[in-house]
Amino acid sequence: MNKDTIKGRARILVSDSVVECAPVKIEKPKAGQTSWGMIEAKEVFDTFAAFLLLPEGYTIIGVYFDVPSYSWTIIVESDAIPLPEEGMMIPTLELVYQRTEDGKVSIVDMQLRGA
């Protein structure tokens, strides 16, 4: 595999306060509905992509509901994210948003933690 094609990956931990800003309701799985299988969930990817306002070049490649923390984890990849050292966990991408007086929301800061 050509090393130039490998992009770095990071996880975004999505809290309830962020989910509340989604343009549509995103419901957490009810007890007993969580499974370890995989499903095609393009709509879920598109929903998170639409309201997380990720910069160009950042692609969502996974959406997971983390049962122990009862929150969402979004996995993104980008050339802007450094590759982790072998055996290391992927870093957490922390996003800081700002809402202007006219109601527009934008990302004002992005930090990789644990990289």
**pLDDT 10s digits, 13-65:** 998 888 887 777 887 777 655 555 555 566 778 888 888 999 999 999 988 88
Angle among Cα 70, 60, 114 to the nearest 5 degrees reads 65
Domain boundaries, the chain: 3-90
Which residues, 6+ apart, have CB-to-CB distance to 53 below 8 Å? Answer: 97, 105, 106, 107
Q: Say whether pTM exceeds 0.95.
A: no
Beta bridge partners, 95, equal 110
| Number of separate helices (H) and strands (E) present in the chain | 2, 5
- Position 64, amino acid: Y
